[in-house]
Amino acid sequence: MPSKEVKKRASLGSIQWNRYMVYIVFVLVFVLFSVLLGGKGFLNPNNLANVLRQTSMISIMAVAGTFVIAAGQIDLTVGAVAAMSAMIASLVLRDLNNIPLAILGGVGFGVVSGAFVGFLVTKLRLPSFLATMGMMSVIRGGAMWVTQTAAVPIKNAVFNKVFGIGMIGGISVLVFWTIGFYIVGYILFNKSIFGRHTLATGGNEMSAIYSGIKTNRIKIIIFILSGAFAGFAGILYAGRMQAGRFSFGDGDELSVIAAVVLGGTSMAGGAGSVIGSLFGSILMGVINNALILAGLSIAQQTIIKGAIIVLAVALSNLTQGKQK
Amino acid sequence: MEQFVLEMKGINKSFGSVPVLKNVEFKLKQGEVHALVGGNGAGKSTLMKIMTGVYTLDSGEVHVNGKLAHIRDTRDAKAQGIAMIFQELSLVQSMTVAENIFLGEEIAHNGLRDIRSMNDRAAKLLAELDLDIDPATPVYRLSVGLSQMVEIAKALSKDAKILVFDEPTASLSETETSRLFEIIQTLKAKGVSMVYISHRMKEIQMVADSITILRDGQFILRDSVANLTMEQIISNLIGGESSKHKFDWVPRYYDENAPDLLRLESVKVNDKINNITFGLKPGEILGLAGLMGSGRTEILETLFGLHPKLGGTIILDGQKLDYSSPQEAIRLGFALVPEDRRKLGLVLNHSVRENLILPILKKLRGNKLQFLIKEKQADGVTEESVKQLNIITSSINKTIRLLSGGNQQKVVIAKWLNTNPRILMLDEPTAGVDIGAKSEIIQIIRNFADQGNSVIFVSSELAEMLAICDRIITIYDGRITGELSRKDIGVEEELQHAIQRS
């Protein structure tokens, strides 16, 4: 069997590469921009703090996104759920001025929406891509409908401070929220039984079923988790913009997928990294920021952003070799 | 009355209107290895899936330890101590050995996984089976054989008292196979009862105590293996008429002094397989014998243009060839029936017809400017092949997934024969094929060679190689270690010995 051994070893090396690729790319990109754009304030602590703040919502959604993709699923509803959650929260604050109820409304909507997606995927056996593509449109439309596309300002200063514009020791509260979610996500993914069951569901669903794991239940929980995290991201959008607006989170679903995949989670399921997703998300934020600092037009930014994502994923695929 | 750990009585099961099991019985004694044999479609897998809770029975009774058991899903089966070791590996490749063993039954401490104690327990379990595997190794780093051992350990960790092995040696090397048999003996000594499904008669005679034979969804007989000869087993399998003679070698005539049709000179496939030299006469059936991983498959794949050769020369009809894609190889007259027909040989969701015409689509156009396929002609070609190779299907438009393994394989072979190849390469063409179809396939190959074409044949079943090959080249660890004319090989053991000699 020596030939098998050799092959296995070789692909092992590449898997490790793939796993650390996001960190390597991150460092390379960071150094590159520091050299090129250091003079334009790229390394200014304020600028870097800004990047962290701006990527918070994507980062938080990417925590749950890691579970979704590691389980071999995909969730396109997150951006729309965030918008709907922001609308619900802002309406509750306008009419009832009750913060806990606003959060419950926003996150609760995410839970219900996630549960419904889970139902579509497990009971009606829709592929998650189609189920969530449809639901994305339904929810986004709903967010437009509740106020006939009008924005709802939030006047509750406490809410805005805690969930958006507040600072602790000069650092945005959004960064603290992000850290909190990542601690929870990391433990859940790496240390809990649920995390292993997620990987097993994505890695070899039959094996998981034969091992007595209710993979359908795992999938439903993952979609609920994804919905809830997206709901919370919506609360943060509302707090930061001090308003609810139907257009929040537009396109976030794709940014989340990009962040998670850049972070080394396999699109085929079965392998993933929560911390990788954080770096994937920040990496995209850094690129965004640098392109703005470099004075590129929106059109140029969009093109380069897309190209960099393709490049980074291609790079990690190349290092991965012909593994599958 | 004897005590059975498991008794299945009067089992009936239909899929739609098709009955698959008709009043079948199966009885397993404590601590025995019980072979379950039957052709493809005989109902072995269905019966075992009922036992392990994948399917539910339509009628009949299952008794475990003398008590009536209701097995409605895999959890019920597990609760009864029944576990299946799968033919295809059913471990999660990206997770560690210990994580796989405890999948679904993780040891947790305050809600967090207790990785250390799972690794410790797994290490103990593996040591009990005399396996030297680090429980923290990810499964993708293990060989196929070791992965299977891990699966056994996993079943035992769940207190399985009845293990079902489905073609466990299909992808194991000889050493791994004997290792598996040792483990089966260890388990037997511990009182574990085992069901052993296999097409390989030799193995059954080696490892099994009793045997149950199914045919066409019906129970045929149950006996002690010692009471039956291989001929008796086979004749019961195929329904009385003996096809034994088809497994005998028939000397074939071809001009041994003719110039080589194909010649390989110092061909380098990769770092390990780097000096392959052999010739192939027109009309000859050449066998490449070797263990799994010896390089057999890689050599065929290189000839078929799937990997570029890294050195040496390939000469066809006296012409040096340089090609690096299957398209060119096909044009030159090569055809490859790959090892894994489900993954590589067929598009499972397509019909018999679509699969059959895939490599010859271009020929089915009127001329190069047309891009529409002549549908009638395609139907004709398909029907012709179905008739010629005796492919059993209700319609040429039937989805190929629904055909038995043997008929699927005949479609793969037919598909390549339609390209009019001069050199047909077959990699394990009879794996998972029942005995009836096996002898038909052997006949098809002989007919092909009799028309002056050449064949390169690879199989792990040496009896089969001896039945069909005119000449056998042995390969060990990427090197050619010998060449035997069929005439000079007396018994299978000689070949067995030859392939394991470095």
Per-residue pLDDT band for B502 (boundaries 50, 70, 90) equals low
pLDDT at res. B476: 84
Has residue B449 got a pLDDT over 60? yes
Residue B33 bridge partners (DSSP)? B194
Taking the Cβ of residue B344 and every Cβ of chain A, the question of whether any pair is shorter than 8 Å is answered with no
Q: Which A positions 247-286 lie with beta carbon below 8 A of chain B?
A: 266, 270-271
pLDDT for A79-104, tens place per residue? Answer: 999 999 999 999 999 999 999 999 99
CB B76 within 8 A of CB B68: no
Where among B246, B279, B314 does a domain terminate? Answer: B246
Residue at B283 is within a domain: yes
* CA-to-CA separations, A36 to A39, A41, A282, B168, in angstroms, rounded: 8, 10, 19, 60
Rounded Cα gap, residues B228 and B233, in angstroms: 7
**Under an 8 A CB cutoff, do B94 and A270 touch?**
yes
- Which two three-digit tokens encode residue B64? 């475990």
Q: How many domains does chain A have?
A: 1
Query: Which residues form the domain of A246?
Result: 59-280
pLDDT at res. B130: 82
Give the residue among B205, B147, B201 at the shortest CA–CA distance from B176: B147
Residue at B374 is within a domain: no
Identify which has the larger pLDDT, A7 or B270. Answer: B270
Distance of CA A32 to the CA centre of its chain: 25
Residue at A166 is within a domain: yes
Quick one: B238 and B304 in the same domain?
A: no
Nearest 5°: phi and psi at B321?
A: -115, 145
Has residue B112 got a pLDDT over 70? yes
Taking the Cβ of residue B105 and every Cβ of chain A, the question of whether any pair is shorter than 8 Å is answered with yes
Residue at A177 is within a domain: yes
Least confident range from A4-18, A89-103, B39-53, B86-100: namely A4-18
For chain A, state the CA radius of gyration: 20
Quick one: B109 and B204 in the same domain?
A: yes
**Under an 8 A CB cutoff, do A196 and B106 touch?**
yes
Beta strands (DSSP E) in chain A are 152-153, 167-168, 171-172, 243-244
Rounded Cα gap, residues B500 and B475, in angstroms: 9
Please, what's the b/e burial string for A44-56 (b: 16 or more CB within 10 A of its CB; e: otherwise)?
eeebbeebbbbbb
The count of other CB atoms within 10 Å of the CB of residue B319 is: 8
CA distance B430 to chain A (A): 22
Residue at A22 is within a domain: no
For chain B, state the CA radius of gyration: 24
Quick one: B51 and B130 in the same domain?
A: yes
Residue at B355 is within a domain: no
Rounded Cα gap, residues A281 and A277, in angstroms: 6
Contact list, A9 vs chain B (CB under 8 Å): 141
**The pairing of beta strand A243-244 with beta strand B423-427:** unpaired
ipTM confidence: 0.75
The count of other CB atoms within 10 Å of the CB of residue B275 is: 15
Residue at A19 is within a domain: no
Contact list, B99 vs chain A (CB under 8 Å): 196
Out of B93, B104, B113, name the one closest to residue A204 (CB).
B93
Strand, coil or helix: B32: coil
Quick one: B100 and B237 in the same domain?
A: yes
Helix axis angle, B435-450 to B230-238, nearest 10°: 90
Quick one: B27 and B142 in the same domain?
A: yes
pLDDT at res. B362: 77
Strand, coil or helix: B23: strand
Where among B217, B246, B275 does a domain terminate? Answer: B246
pLDDT at res. A194: 93
Rounded Cα gap, residues A288 and A298, in angstroms: 10
> B371-376 — which CB contacts under 8 Å span 24+ positions?
none
pLDDT at res. A22: 83
Type of residue at B173? S
Residue at A84 is within a domain: yes
Rounded Cα gap, residues B252 and B247, in angstroms: 14
Quick one: B309 and B170 in the same domain?
A: no
CB B435 within 8 A of CB B237: yes
Average pLDDT score over chain B:
86
CATH code, domain with B38: 3.40.50.300
Which range has the top average pLDDT, A184-193, A222-231, B447-456?
Answer: A222-231
Has residue A53 got a pLDDT over 60? yes
Contact list, A1 vs chain B (CB under 8 Å): 143, 145, 173, 176, 291-293
Quick one: B60 and B90 in the same domain?
A: yes
Taking the Cβ of residue A71 and every Cβ of chain B, the question of whether any pair is shorter than 8 Å is answered with no
CB B467 within 8 A of CB B249: yes
**Under an 8 A CB cutoff, do B90 and A206 touch?**
yes
pLDDT for B3-61, tens place per residue? Answer: 799 999 999 998 776 778 999 999 999 999 999 988 766 788 889 999 988 889 999 99
| Residue B168 burial (C-beta neighbours within 10 Å; 0-12, 13-18, 19+) | buried
pLDDT at res. B292: 66
Quick one: B40 and B126 in the same domain?
A: yes
- Which two three-digit tokens encode residue A121? 């995927």
Average pLDDT score over chain A:
89
Taking the Cβ of residue B166 and every Cβ of chain A, the question of whether any pair is shorter than 8 Å is answered with no
CB B385 within 8 A of CB B357: no
pLDDT at res. A18: 62
- Which two three-digit tokens encode residue B441? 């396939």
- Which two three-digit tokens encode residue A53? 């703040």
Give the residue among A10, A4, A11, A207 at the shortest CA–CA distance from B175: A4
Has residue A1 got a pLDDT over 50? no
**The pairing of beta strand B193-197 with beta strand B162-166:** parallel
Has residue B62 got a pLDDT over 90? yes
Task: Taking residues A130-141, report their average pLDDT.
Answer: 97
Has residue B90 got a pLDDT over 90? no
Residue in chain A closest to B151 (alpha carbons) equals A207
Nearby residues of A11 by Cβ (< 8 Å), 6 or more positions away? A321, A323, B140
**Under an 8 A CB cutoff, do A203 and B111 touch?**
no
pLDDT for B136-188, tens place per residue? Answer: 999 888 887 888 889 888 888 888 899 999 888 877 777 888 889 999 999 99
Rounded Cα gap, residues A34 and B115, in angstroms: 41
Beta strands (DSSP E) in B198-342 are 210-215, 218-224, 262-268, 276-280, 285-289, 311-316, 319-321, 334-337
Per-residue pLDDT band for A234 (boundaries 50, 70, 90) equals very high
Residue at B14 is within a domain: yes
Rounded Cα gap, residues A260 and A282, in angstroms: 11
* Residue that is written with structure tokens 């028309």 in the block: B451
Taking the Cβ of residue B134 and every Cβ of chain A, the question of whether any pair is shorter than 8 Å is answered with no
Q: What is the DSSP letter of B140?
A: G
Residue at A91 is within a domain: yes
Contact list, A209 vs chain B (CB under 8 Å): 74
Nearby residues of B427 by Cβ (< 8 Å), 6 or more positions away? B296, B297, B300, B336, B337, B338, B339, B458
* CA-to-CA separations, B140 to A276, A324, B390, in angstroms, rounded: 21, 12, 40
Out of A2, A11, A203, name the one closest to residue B92 (CB).
A203
Quick one: B315 and B212 in the same domain?
A: no
Residue at B398 is within a domain: no
Residue at A285 is within a domain: no
Sign of the C-alpha dihedral, residues B72, B77, B78, B81?
A: positive
Residue at B284 is within a domain: yes
* CA-to-CA separations, A58 to A226, A232, A273, B25, B447, in angstroms, rounded: 12, 11, 16, 59, 65
Helix (H) / strand (E) containing B11: strand B4-15
* CA-to-CA separations, A63 to A187, A260, B406, in angstroms, rounded: 11, 8, 48
* Residue that is written with structure tokens 């969930």 in the block: A163
Nearby residues of B426 by Cβ (< 8 Å), 6 or more positions away? B336, B337, B413, B445, B455, B456, B457, B458, B459
pLDDT at res. B239: 63
Task: Taking residues A136-164, report their average pLDDT.
Answer: 96
CB A66 within 8 A of CB A275: no
Contact list, B84 vs chain A (CB under 8 Å): 210
**Under an 8 A CB cutoff, do B92 and A199 touch?**
yes
**Under an 8 A CB cutoff, do A200 and B103 touch?**
yes
Q: What is the DSSP letter of B341?
A: I
Residue at A290 is within a domain: no
Task: Taking residues B283-306, report their average pLDDT.
Answer: 88
* CA-to-CA separations, A310 to A18, A33, A258, A315, B80, in angstroms, rounded: 15, 19, 9, 8, 51
pLDDT at res. B88: 60
Has residue B343 got a pLDDT over 90? no
Sign of the C-alpha dihedral, residues A15, A266, A259, A291?
A: positive
Least confident range from A11-15, A37-41, A205-209, B383-387: namely A11-15
Where among B246, B269, B293 does a domain terminate? Answer: B246
Strand, coil or helix: A237: helix
CB A228 within 8 A of CB A114: yes
Give the residue among B337, B338, B336, B304 at the shortest CA–CA distance from B323: B304
Q: How many domains does chain B have?
A: 2
Least confident range from A23-27, A139-143, A304-308: namely A304-308
- Which two three-digit tokens encode residue B99? 């994580």
Task: Taking residues B210-227, report their average pLDDT.
Answer: 90
Contact list, A204 vs chain B (CB under 8 Å): 90-93
Taking the Cβ of residue B490 and every Cβ of chain A, the question of whether any pair is shorter than 8 Å is answered with no
Residue in chain A closest to B98 (alpha carbons) equals A196
Query: Which residues form the domain of B483?
Result: 261-333+424-432+455-502
* Residue that is written with structure tokens 């079902």 in the block: B164
CA angle, corner A73, sides to A71 and A79, nearest 5? 120
Q: Considering chain A, what percentage of its residues have pLDDT values greater than 90?
A: 71
- Which two three-digit tokens encode residue A173? 């509260």
**Under an 8 A CB cutoff, do B108 and A210 touch?**
no
Rounded Cα gap, residues B421 and B425, in angstroms: 10
